[in-house]
Every structure is written in C-alpha cells, then in structure tokens.
Amino acid sequence: MHYIQIGVNLQDGIMRLQRYIENKNKLLPLLLLQRRQQFFSYIEEIIKLINLI
C-alpha cells in the first residue's frame, strides 16, 4: 500500500512538472514577443522625437 502511494505521488509530480514546462514554453515566446514590440515602440518614439528636433 505504501509503495503504491509513493508511485502515485511520483507520477502526479512528474505530470505536474510536465504541465509546468509546457506552460512555461508557451509563455516564453509570448513574453519575448511583448518585449520585442515594447522595444520597437520605444525606438519609434525616439525617432519621432529626433524628427521633431
């Protein structure tokens, strides 16, 4: 009984870890895309300011 419980807990832990990794892999490109868009919008603002001078 004890070993079965350990096996179930281990399997549950592995599944949670896999889900965490999958979610992290989905979030990472999104974060990078947001950062890139933010970066380019900063550059656009700087160019606008330079054009005003």
The per-residue pLDDT for range 29-47, each reduced to its tens digit, is 888 888 999 999 999 999 9
Q: 20 is in which domain, residue-wise?
A: 1-53
Q: What is the pLDDT of residue 38?
A: 92
- Which tokens is 44 given? 């656009």
pTM of the full predicted structure? 0.50
Q: Tell me 15's DSSP state.
A: H
Q: How confident is the model at residue 15 (pLDDT cuts 50, 70, 90)?
A: very high
**Cα atoms found within 13 Å of the Cα of residue 25, Cβ hemisphere only:** 6
Q: What is the number of domains present in the chain? A: 1
Q: What's the rounded Cα separation, in Å, for the pair 46 and 25?
A: 32
Q: What is the pLDDT of residue 16?
A: 93
